[in-house]
Amino acid sequence: MKATDPSQPRERALLVQVVLGRRDRREAEDSLAELERLADSAGAATIGCITQRRDRPTPGLFVGEGKLVDIQLACREGKANVVIFDNELSAVQVNNLDLALGIKVIDRTEVILQIFARRARSAEAKVQVELAQLQYLISRIPVSRKQQRFQGGIGMRGPGESPLQLRNAPMRRRISDLKRRLDRIGKRHASVRKRRPWPLVSLVGYTNAGKSTLLNACTQAGAYVDDRLFATLDTKTRLVHVPENRKLLLTDTVGFIRHLPHGLVASFRSTLDVARESDLLLLIADAADPGIATQIDVVHETLAEIEAEAVPYMIVLNKSDAATQDQLDHLLAIHHDAVVVSARKGEGLDKLKARIVEELLAHDVHFPGENDHG
Ligand SMILES: Nc1nc2c(ncn2[C@@H]2O[C@H](COP(=O)(O)OP(=O)(O)OP(=O)(O)O)[C@@H](O)[C@H]2O)c(=O)[nH]1
Ligand SMILES: [Mg+2]
């Protein structure tokens, strides 16, 4: 018998998506395709997808009763051992679905959290992931009716904690402890960044856009590249030589994705702080991806969420080798100032470096030694 290959997916997942109300069909399809890639990154092979259009979810099961039967049959037929919902489920819905289907049911947020947990390497990333997981867990503990009555109902508010808070006290203590540790790590990093002698440029963008590949291409940095979502969870900063003997710092960051759980963004604050404190952001986008417009929108939204929307940025259209001329022309008509590169082939990098210097100087960022002479 062949030995089990550790790279083989261990779980068999059935994907379920409920398209609510007037949600755009195309966006829903992209989201489902992305869920399949997320499942793969988390170690599960997709055995099928079930979609349903509804005006609103049912409170108990999210899907209708008829759809539940379809899901049961598909699971049995495809020997699924996990059902992954593209929609965000409430604690009660997860519970009911678990019981009704007899197998594990998780939602998109939980898949992303699992990937992050698998990928975290540095102490900082591990603390951030644990914090995100705990905050997610605590938000998912079902509140029974009895407990709800105790939660500050009229005439019920007294001193001390509610029974629910008491039950969660150890978790809350751990959360504050992790927050304190992250705060210390963040302050240490910030003080190092403040004393930097070179301009700081960060690569930001949708997951899998090619940020780490570009960092490697510019610096031979050896950052981890993988055709999987969320390959990078730790930032890497490298010194890059640019024309006229100038130098700057280039930083790789964790990728963004649509519906990135808010708790995760908040937890990765100390990693993402680098973007906010940069002199320039390179917004890396995959020019060959038909969903590039949504991806750029998501990146802008996430930048706003981490309060980095005021940092100057330029758009870099990567993977030009995989894009058609039509795709590139269309994108350049929208983003006039974008720079086209292929990180994989090392094309367009000299032009990119020259443009970075131009942008920095235009924003009054100086290179060390230069303002003394000027
Ligand atoms: N064809 C082509 N593929 C590329 C190019 N740049 C990167 N890739 C591929 O795209 C995939 C993702 O690259 P990464 O550099 O890991 O992407 P990333 O943006 O760092 O992704 P995360 O760390 O997940 O956010 C890998 O398979 C790369 O080989 C390019 O210029 N052309
Ligand atoms: Mg990366």
| Domain ranges (residues) in the chain | 11-114, 194-369
Could you check whether 11-114 and 194-369 share the same CATH topology?
yes
pLDDT per position as a tens digit, 108-153: 999 998 888 888 888 888 898 899 999 888 877 765 544 444 444 3
pLDDT of res. 169: 85
- Ligand 1 atom closest to the Cα of residue 213 is 15
CATH superfamily of 11-114: GTPase HflX, N-terminal domain (3.40.50.11060)
Report which bound ligand comes closest to the CA of 207. 1
More confident residue, 270 or 309: 309
268 with 254: CB under 8 angstroms? yes
pLDDT per position as a tens digit, 84-100: 999 999 889 999 999 99
What three-state secondary structure class fits 105? Answer: strand
Report whether residue 352 contacts ligand 1, using a CB cutoff of 6 Å: no
Report whether residue 208 contacts ligand 1, using a CB cutoff of 6 Å: yes
CATH superfamily of 194-369: P-loop containing nucleotide triphosphate hydrolases (3.40.50.300)
pLDDT per position as a tens digit, 324-372: 999 999 999 999 999 999 999 999 999 999 999 999 999 999 888 775 4
Nearest CA to ligand 1 atom 6: 210
Report residue 191 as tokens: 């003080």
CA distance linking residue 206 with residue 131, whole number of Å: 23
Nearest CA to ligand 1 atom 27: 227
